[in-house]
Structure 1
Amino acid sequence: MNQMNCDISAVLFDEYQIQTRIRELGLEISNSYKNSTPVMIGILKGGFIFLADLVRSITIPVEVDFLAISSYGTKTSSSGVVKIRKDIDIDITGRDVIVVEDIVDTGLSLAYIKDYIWQHKPSSLKTCVLLDKPDAHKTDVTFDYIGYSIKNEFVVGYGLDFAEKYRNLPFIGILKEELYKC
């Protein structure tokens, strides 16, 4: 067992559970966009693994782009101040867009992202989130596709990090509190 595994207090979703749910989401998206080629916009950095697996489970043509934002730094909760670190490259005017996010805590970042994407005048905008923490919401947010709702716990793995570590774990687990609380 490696050191990262020792830092986890509990596994919420193992690799099999995650992949099964992603295949279900891919089927839902494929059925919803049979007559379209949606643009999937992955939110970096945390969403890159989820986006990669999700697009491989979609059976229709899609285009992929990325938007990088920051609102956490090395903290465990969002600062509420969102900064764009990398903008999208594809012209999404008049296109169907699906924003793919790894996790929604407060909802502030996702609300900002949705407002920002609407400024580019897509014909439609949907959201797909792997994890939602409804108890942490500070704003009213809704999703079109959702993997799992979880309690307000600090989770890592499968792209989710703490201070840039743990992204490469193949599962999603709860990080031991003593590692991030001082």
Structure 2
Amino acid sequence: MAKLRKMLGDPTGPRAKALMALIDTQSASTLGRWAAAYAEERYLPILRRRRSGQPVDDRFATAIKQAIACADGNATLKDAKPALRAALAAARETGDADPVAQAAARAISTACGVIQTPTNALGFAFYGAAAAAYDEAGLSGDSAEYERLADMEFDRIIASLRHAAVENEPHPVKVRWNC
């Protein structure tokens, strides 16, 4: 059994580089809307399944809604920040007893923060890759299987951003990557 990591993926690999290059072409609002919507579609269901019939903390759904509202211009960042902080706290409170739920919670929280910190668009992908891989393979898989599944999740993330991307975005983010 492989040691479970909080994040999966290679930050210097071709998938991460492709995602970074795509992020560099988009505005904060496009990235924020896309990341929150992707987290809602992909990681919130994982978190719900892992809760075994218990309700999922509503701070995640609230943060998703606030991040999308902010990206769409229907709320200010000041309006959204309390919900973003609450989702971060909820992710921390998830604990490490269930690595799948923990990775999904961190992916959601980090994705919601993209509207404020565009580099989170890369960070949530690593948490999301872990959530997706562990959810699909279980917690007793081997590292090669986890890496294969993480690569597949990165491919889905990149395809999703390509679909959401605005061609010739007039106000792309200015990111200085430190990886």
Q: TM-score per shorter chain, which class? A: under 0.3
- TM-score w.r.t. structure 1 length? 0.24
Give the structure with the larger strand fraction: 1
